[in-house]
């Protein structure tokens, strides 16, 4: 499980973290990522402003950190070699992303 980890790192570092995570799980396992997934294309909810604020904080306080969109998470997971993933919205700032080998 990676909670509030990937938003601290560049895309290339995230791909490496995800590759190592994929290597560490069993073939029928999954990697669970808990992070803010910023909605795009008008998919705003009551937590949208908080997610965008977190994105600005990450940009100001880290070198490569940022909150990512669903499409950006999908690209990272694809590059890391995951076969599929799901994004579950829960009634909070974070989303739960389950990635399968």
Catalytic residues: 7
* Whole-number Å distance between alpha carbons of 75 and 69: 10
**Residue 90: DSSP 8-state:** -
* Whole-number Å distance between alpha carbons of 63 and 59: 7
For tokens 């829960």, the residue is 90
């Amino acid at each position: 499980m990676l909670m509030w980890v990937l938003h601290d790192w560049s895309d290339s570092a995230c791909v490496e973290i995800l590759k190592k995570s994929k290597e560490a799980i069993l073939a029928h396992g999954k990697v669970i990522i808990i992070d803010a997934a910023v909605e795009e294309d008008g998919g705003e909810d009551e937590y949208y402003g908080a997610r965008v604020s977190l994105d600005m904080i990450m940009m100001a306080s880290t070198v490569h950190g940022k909150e990512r969109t669903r499409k950006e998470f999908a690209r990272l997971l694809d590059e890391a070699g995951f076969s599929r993933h799901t994004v579950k919205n829960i009634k909070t700032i974070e989303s739960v992303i389950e990635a399968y080998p």
